[in-house]
Structure 1
Amino acid sequence: MSLFGKVKNTIGLLKSVDLEALNKLSQKVDLSKVMSAVGNLDDRQLQGLMKMLNSQAKKGQHKLPPIDGDFYNLAQKLTPEEREIQMKMRNFMEDEVKPIANDFWNRAEFPHEIIPKFAELNLAGIAYKGYGCPGQSFLLEGILAMELARVDVSISTFFGVHSGLAMGSIYLCGSEEQKQEWLPKMQKFEKIGAFGLTEPEVGSGAAGGLGTSCKKVGDEWILNGEKKWIGNATFSDITIIWARDEDSGSVKGFIVRKENPGFHAEKMKDKMALRTVQNALITLTDCRVPESDRLQNANSFKDTAKVLQMTRASVAWQAVGCARGAYEAALKYTKKREQFGRPIASFQLIQNHLVEMISNLTAMQTLCFRLSEMQDGGQLTDEHASLAKVFCSMRTRDVVSRAREVMGGNGILLEYDVARFVADAEAIYSYEGTKEINSLIVGRAITGYSAFVS
């Protein structure tokens, strides 16, 4: 190609360039030298230059797909009202919680200022009927648990303990008077609840081995014992305490107020997960509780189990949220992070990790979606809830591990968000029934044989 032809082609290319952009370019480089250098290129070099320029132009025009963990678009199955509520919670978590999540997690402190803002959402006790509660579906309750955990598993746990375990105990096991007294206040976050079942020496064996005792003396009950890992209990107004009756041997539930004589809650320290959650070691020393604060419809551990069954589905959804938050953070990172002149999202091995993550996440979401449909239809059993808890907590571990891996060294820094999900996934794996206990519940259902130690 002649020099005239080369310059003509170059001029044609420059004509397509925005004049303002060209002016900015002239401030950075000597365009006359650039023109001179182009004139000295041979045909092969010029073709390479044109190829590179065309490639850069196409790269700028390439539209990347949105970052969305709902690969099978399950959101389409929600009603417009449900979708609106979902997005209300998502926006709240993105705007109010995400900017402060890492700081409070790192300091192991709770952001009490968000509690009034939670009240404004009007979403506590969302699946309960009456008592100021919204009366929505358990499916929507699960979706909200996912949205909470998608940003911060600690805040999801705070909400789940208050709205699920504490309110749920009163909703399922309380008298009508107790429901009227507590549920409207708790729905508005005017009173905060906690749930005390686990003990220092009793976790999985709570059904038959509770060490905390209760004994009726006149019109009062005297409670003695300890509870451990009790979320919200350092600042809750009431804690649902489960204890074994010294006379009958049956398990009973009590609404224990923070001011009750003999009740003491001490913050647990040095946790590696759910650091924002204020877990407490509760000591009950001749703690006096009036008969009016005994849950009137809680007379055996079967009643306690009803509460756990109802909330276990939400914990499975919580695992989905943890995995989704990690996946979306990792995907966003891989699109921005460049190595060897390209975004790492364009590399085969990175894409393989991302596909493994979205595969697990999609399986978890569809399983939980069906689980919640069964719960709304009155078909939920212990084994159904246990299978979801087993599968989702295991798969979440895998997802967060891969999310951390694609981010390299940055994956262990809080500022990139994934490190918090990696740690919090370990807590989800253990609470609301370990993998082993939930596996035995499912195993008993599918084989007909109980492998529990008797």
Structure 2
Amino acid sequence: MSAPAKLPPFDPADPLGIDDLLSDEDLAIRDTVRSWAADRVLPHIAEWYENGELPGIRELARELGSLGALGMSLTGYGCAGATAVQYGLACLELEAADSGIRSLVSVQGSLAMYAIWKYGSEEQKQRWLPSMAAGETIGCFGLTEPDHGSDPAGMRTYAKRDGTDWVLSGRKMWITNGSVAGVAVVWAQTDEGSGGIRGFAVPTDTPGFSAPEIKHKWSLRASVTSELVMDEVRLPADAVLPGVTGLKGPLSCLSHARYGIVWGAMGAARASFDAAVEYAKTREQFGRPIGGFQLTQAKLADMAVELHKGVLLAHHLGLRMDAGRLRPEQVSFGKLNNVREAIEICRTSRTVLGANGISLEYPVMRHVTNLESVLTYEGTVEMHQLVLGKALTGLDAFR
């Protein structure tokens, strides 16, 4: 009888051995993005967050383009053609730095670029995608409106025919990258019969288009958020995305972006959890580190369980996406669970740090407030619950 194989040592940073599921290329991509974030974001993010700005966003976009992080899982047109798992790992590392940085990448690649890549004409792809993949052109995605968030079918933005042109009018709200974008993918009602919602690739220097920046945010402060205003914006016939009509277009883009959030939320959770662990090992009360008390250890254990379960869930969904088998309901499953658990991990981490938890010297409160936005955008908790409820029962509770 042969001797049993020697077990590897327990790794507190990877208690389930999830790294064993990753290829050498996966690990290299993850480590590259982590190193970039440590060098270019972490030394400055507290100041950016406190000031409510993201200075040098165009330079950051070009650097992210050089890493291959923009439109990362798309193929051709200068895109990296990475796997869904590799894109997810990048999202995790970016959001471990800050949700605003991951949002920049998600909106660029999974919303604006994906819409053009999936539904655009060859001419539109050639015009926009190479420069967007390089970070030379920033994109935004206009779906949400001031009065229509969870119900995009009720949008009021309208595009009407005028000869061979389209004339676009309306407003979009809470648009990441809006005021720095060179192209806006805007969804609008048309008179093309039932379900006539169409997407338009709108150059932002077109007369009648403006994107005032939204200020006074208490979440995603290191992120550019804007309103889009279209006042009789005249577009040529070839501005419309020809590959889709109806809500299928924007909703499929949102599903692609939500997948990145499933991973990214675990990055915010990991950063907060790591801060709590380190603090618990060094902060002394009653003559010894608080990490030696049972209640603190219970918090750390529970957070570790939910954190690494969430990463396993994200990895599973990534494998399904790579196999072409990922359903929108499964993305809702991941987004609902991982963001909800991530925000709870961050809140519990804050309690471990006590009063220091609210200081920008630590990342925890910044991640808590950012995740309040992540919890809501790309589908609220309630919407994903109803998506899963319908899938489980066959009964539609939306209406």
Query: Above 0.5 in TM-score?
Result: yes
The alignment status of 1:111 with 2:42, answered yes or no, reads: no
What SS does structure 2 have at the residue aligned with 1:260? coil
The alignment status of 1:216 with 2:167, answered yes or no, reads: no
Cα deviation per residue 1:38-66 (whole Å; 9 max; x = unaligned)?
Answer: xxxxxxxxxxxxxxxxxxxxxxxxxxx87
Count of residues in Structure 1 that have an aligned counterpart in Structure 2: 388
In 2, Cα distance between equivalents of 1:293 and 1:67? 52
1:386 maps to a residue whose letter is: S
In 1, Cα distance between equivalents of 2:63 and 2:291? 37
**Counterpart residue number, 2:189:** 244
1:357 maps to a residue whose letter is: M
Unpaired runs of 5+ residues, structure 2, are 1-9
The alpha carbon displacement at 1:122 in A equals: 2.2
The alpha carbon displacement at 1:355 in A equals: 0.8
The alpha carbon displacement at 1:377 in A equals: 0.9
**1:71-150 map, 5 Å:** 71-112=15-56, 113-150=59-96
Structure possessing the higher radius of gyration over alpha carbons: 1
The alignment status of 1:156 with 2:102, answered yes or no, reads: yes
2:385 maps to a residue whose letter is: S
**Counterpart residue number, 2:302:** 356
Query: Higher relative contact order at CA 8 Å, sep ≥6: structure 1 or structure 2?
Result: 2
In 2, Cα distance between equivalents of 1:444 and 1:360? 26
Q: Is the 8 A contact 2:220 2:373 kept in 1?
A: yes
Q: Is the 8 A contact 1:211 1:243 kept in 2?
A: yes
Cα deviation per residue 1:128-186 (whole Å; 9 max; x = unaligned)?
Answer: 11111111111111111111001111111111111111111111111122112211111
Unpaired runs of 5+ residues, structure 1, are 1-64
**1:174-185 map, 5 Å:** 174-185=120-131
Q: Is the 8 A contact 2:262 2:334 kept in 1?
A: yes
Q: Is the 8 A contact 1:67 1:328 kept in 2?
A: no
In 2, Cα distance between equivalents of 1:351 and 1:329? 14
The alpha carbon displacement at 1:247 in A equals: 4.6
Q: Is the 8 A contact 2:310 2:338 kept in 1?
A: yes
**Counterpart residue number, 1:31:** none
RMSD of Structure 2 on Structure 1 (CA): 1.5
What SS does structure 1 have at the residue aligned with 2:305? helix
In 2, Cα distance between equivalents of 1:316 and 1:407? 26
**1:22-421 map, 5 Å:** 68=13, 70-112=14-56, 113-206=59-152, 208-249=153-194, 250-421=196-367
In 1, Cα distance between equivalents of 2:192 and 2:40? 49
In 2, Cα distance between equivalents of 1:424 and 1:71? 26
The alpha carbon displacement at 1:372 in A equals: 1.0
Q: Find runs of 4+ consecutive structure 1 residues off by over 4 angstroms.
A: none
**Counterpart residue number, 2:6:** none
In 2, Cα distance between equivalents of 1:105 and 1:369? 30
Q: Is the 8 A contact 1:106 1:275 kept in 2?
A: yes
1:128 maps to a residue whose letter is: L
The alpha carbon displacement at 1:409 in A equals: 0.3
Query: Does 247-256 or 371-380 show the bigger shift?
Result: 247-256
In 2, Cα distance between equivalents of 1:362 and 1:343? 25
In 2, Cα distance between equivalents of 1:225 and 1:116? 31
In 2, Cα distance between equivalents of 1:289 and 1:341? 70
The alpha carbon displacement at 1:71 in A equals: 2.6
2:158 maps to a residue whose letter is: S
Q: Is the 8 A contact 1:109 1:276 kept in 2?
A: yes
The alpha carbon displacement at 1:270 in A equals: 1.3
Q: 1:434 aligns with which of 375, 380, 394?
A: 380
What SS does structure 2 have at the residue aligned with 1:195? strand
2:94 maps to a residue whose letter is: L
